[in-house]
Amino acid sequence: MANVDPDIQSRLLAQMRSPRLVALDSMNYWITHKRRALLKLLKKVDIYVANDQEARSLSGENNLIRAAKRLYRQGPRMVLIKKGEHGLLFYTSQFIFSLPAYPTDKIVDPTGAGDTFAGGFMGYLAKTKQINEITLKKALVYGTLAASFNVEDFGINRTMRLRLKDLEERLVKFKKCVLF
Amino acid sequence: MANVDPDIQSRLLAQMRSPRLVALDSMNYWITHKRRALLKLLKKVDIYVANDQEARSLSGENNLIRAAKRLYRQGPRMVLIKKGEHGLLFYTSQFIFSLPAYPTDKIVDPTGAGDTFAGGFMGYLAKTKQINEITLKKALVYGTLAASFNVEDFGINRTMRLRLKDLEERLVKFKKCVLF
């Protein structure tokens, strides 16, 4: 559920027939002005997705691990904090996962990086039969790679032309940059 | 070479007899007030170590990959950018390595985290017979883990009691948090 008024998100969710996995995005405006509705909604979703500022603002915690834990206690089964150029932090009761962004200096337009990430992440999980630690980590990696392409050109110019082969090729490079 | 006046660092280096590996740290004061001496010194060291602000300030680049590349062109064979809670970026002509910090909410005193990191990193390399991609990545991991202990208490209280076994145990946990 992309970022809109939590009341609208709530009505949308009520119309879904037993969704397999629900992720919720939000933003500073709703966190400040519709805090109570947003917190109520968090109890009904599987994954709460926020950037680092939003996570700090909604949780009241500066340390992001503490912020993730506090947001987790609000109800979602998983908390995903996007840190832009610094990557992401994923928190569940089973595991914590910290992943850097794809190291690139080819940044034309960062607009939409977070949404492209969410699309790649949810898209991978939608194709996958199981949702577990391994597939969640892979989905986070694919979301990261999708976002790394989107920033290479304005709007969706690069993402429109994106093929699975491009992601697979970049995955090989990414592994060399982050695995040890 | 820890952070002091680049002229002093330069005189110190001149007294070393064919050092195996030289790493240089600096800070905002010398970057601003002794820029030329610092840039000259960079040509004589193997690794330039900086935090993200220092790297941006000395390179004039906001994007950290570009900053690392530009600093690399100043002479050092390797550039290590420390990003605090966001981990590190390591750049050489052979490879780029991006590593998150150990995800912890047990932070009592962050003072000295960068120096403990540098100590763990250089200490690992000093014990190692070879300096290559594999050992450099491992050294960066051990530096990261050493720093994660140091922040758990004031001053060097925790680091004084640190044993290799503690690092090895935390390495297992860290791998679960960052590998996929």
Residue B162 has pLDDT above 90, yes or no: yes
| B90 φ/ψ angles, rounded to the nearest 5 degrees | -120, 130
Whether the CB of B53 is below 8 Å from some CB of chain A: the reply is: no
| B25 φ/ψ angles, rounded to the nearest 5 degrees | -110, 155
| B136 φ/ψ angles, rounded to the nearest 5 degrees | -65, -45
Q: What is the pLDDT of residues A78-130, one digit of tens each?
A: 999 999 999 999 999 999 999 999 999 999 999 999 999 999 999 999 999 89
In the prediction, which pLDDT does B175 show? 98
Residue B129 has pLDDT above 90, yes or no: no
Residue A139 has pLDDT above 90, yes or no: yes
Residue B67 has pLDDT above 90, yes or no: yes
Q: What is the pLDDT of residues A38-86, one digit of tens each?
A: 999 999 999 999 999 999 999 999 999 999 999 999 999 999 999 999 9
Please give the structure tokens belonging to residue A113: 């990086």
Distance CA B94, CA B151 (A): 32
Whether the CB of B63 is below 8 Å from some CB of chain A: the reply is: yes
Q: Do A96 and B103 touch (CB under 8 A)?
A: yes
Please give the structure tokens belonging to residue B94: 């052979």
CA–CA min distance B33, chain A (Å): 29
Whether the CB of A177 is below 8 Å from some CB of chain B: the reply is: yes
CA distances from B12 to B8, B17, B32, B80 (A): 6, 11, 21, 21
**Selection from B4, B111, B95 nearest residue A103 by Cα:** B95
**Across B85-89, average pLDDT:** 97
In the prediction, which pLDDT does A129 show? 81
Check: CB of residue B68 under 8 Å from CB of residue B79.
yes
CATH number of the domain located at residue range(s) B1-99 in this protein: 3.40.1190.20
Return the residue in A51, A80, A105 with the most chain B beta carbons within 10 A, the one to mutate for interface testing: A105
Task: Give me the residue from A104, A134, A180 closest to B141, CB to CB.
Answer: A180
Check: CB of residue B32 under 8 Å from CB of residue B6.
no
Secondary structure element (H or E) that encloses residue A78, with its range: strand A78-82
SS3 content of chain B, % helix, strand, coil (to 5): 55, 10, 35
pLDDT band for position B36 (cuts 50, 70, 90): very high
Task: Give me the residue from A64, A65, A180 closest to B138, CB to CB.
Answer: A180
CA–CA min distance A95, chain B (Å): 7
pLDDT band for position A150 (cuts 50, 70, 90): very high
Secondary structure element (H or E) that encloses residue B24, with its range: strand B23-25
Return the residue in A65, A79, A109 with the most chain B beta carbons within 10 A, the one to mutate for interface testing: A65
Residue of chain A nearest B108, judged by CA positions: A63
CA distances from A56 to A4, A6, A34, A65, B119 (A): 19, 18, 16, 10, 32
Q: Do B103 and A98 touch (CB under 8 A)?
A: yes
Secondary structure element (H or E) that encloses residue B172, with its range: helix B164-178
- Mean pLDDT of chain B, nearest integer: 96
Q: Do A176 and B95 touch (CB under 8 A)?
A: yes
pTM equals: 0.95
In the prediction, which pLDDT does A35 show? 96
Distance CA B156, CA B6 (A): 26
* Domain extent listing, chain A: 1-99, 103-180
Q: Do B97 and A65 touch (CB under 8 A)?
A: no
ipTM: 0.93
